[in-house]
Amino acid sequence: MPIIVFGVSHKTAPIDVREKVALDAEQLKAALDGARQAIGAREALILSTCNRTEFYLSADEHPQGQLADWLVQFKSLDPKLVDGHFYTLEGPQAIRHTLRVACGLDSMVLGEPQILGQLKQAYQASESGGSIGKTLSKLMQYAFTVAKKVRTETAIGQTPVSVAYAAVRLARQIHGDLSTKTALLIGAGDTISLVANHLRSQHIGRMIIANRTLSRSEELARELGGIAIALTDIAQHLWEADILVSSTASPLPIIQRKAVAAAVRKRRFEPMFLVDLAVPRDIEPGVAELDDVYLYTVDDLNNVITENMELRQLAAAQAEEIVTLHAQNFMDWLHSLDGNAMIVAYRRQAEATRDELLTKAQRQLAAGEDPAHVLRALANTLVNKLVHHPTTKIREATIEGRSELVLAARELLNIRDPDTDA
């Protein structure tokens, strides 16, 4: 059963495309069902992050273009907007891509660890939604194992290179010493936690943490020594923020241009450094037009991440070798499934023939026919039915000069060469 990966990523689409394609938690169940129906897939999993929205599917076939057409309709997109940005991978390419994604080898920041947790969450969501089965489940578990192997056997994660690291590095370039500065962090997921830890290592003076769920803000604030506020209270504290980093799953911008303009005036035009790590974006793009405001998106940070990459590149080469080996191992497993299915089907076919002829023979015996005659007829008919199709195909292959098929048949049927065997 072919494995298919379809979607967009930071490599094929800018942020203004990715944010329109991105799927939030409320859309996920409908999207899983819709994608499966679009191509008749048996299994589906969706990974939607700031850098990619990808569909992982297991299907008997893939009608080209149907997934793209369905997604355009599902998200009410302008076809011209996404034209040329989608990609589709199948079979070995899809498997290798999945393993590379899990290992952080396809990420904007090479080797970043957050993607593995995001892929695990996507797997759990598909499992809860009943859209994942044996094939994709096996692939995901395999990807998680390979990612762990890459982490333990290479140095790909031993240097601080991430969008969180880059954001804090930029903050230092703009503000210098951070010990007197205040950071407002919006969100409470892994990315914000990583940003908070980097800020703490740079001795940030004060952290304010806002999240839709206040209890989660309070939990992170206790852990990191910050102050927790509700999302609805951001406007009251915005002016305090020398640094603002936002990473939520909100479908609409949380930070409006008007609010930032008011905050800048209240700050007497002291610079504000804003980083929007969310897709769709949390901060209105127009904020970048304001004086004394420095706004960066995840795409902007890609141009900032330069340090510690040499070591990661060396480790990535080792990781690619691990991925190549294990991608082939998974393909071997898939092929074994095909073989098992063929064996089961062949046995059922033979057993059906047996049962048909046995029933006929039993009727003949019950009617009083000669048992010896019935048994001979049964044996001859069974042999003829079982060998008819193979012998016909071998004869055709011989006439057509398809020697490879003849040799394969000799091996499968365990036929000795009459010219060499006594």
Task: Decide if 50 is catalytic.
Answer: yes
CA dihedral 248, 251, 252, 253 (to 10 degrees): 20
Distance of CA 166 to the CA centre of its chain: 24
The per-residue DSSP string of 123-142 comes to: HHHHHHTT---HHHHHHHHH
220 Cβ neighbours under 8 A, 6+ residues apart: 188, 192, 193, 196, 209, 211, 226, 228
Token digits of residue 408: 């394969």
Say how many C-beta atoms besides its own lie within 10 A of residue 244's C-beta: 30
What letter would DSSP give residue 282? S
Among 31, 41, 47, 50, the active-site one is 50
Q: Which residues pair with 6 in a beta bridge?
A: 55, 88
Task: Please state, in angstroms and rounded to a whole number, the distance separating the CA atoms of residues 363 and 334.
Answer: 44
Contact criterion met (CB below 8 Å) for 312 and 305 = no
Active-site amino acid positions: 50
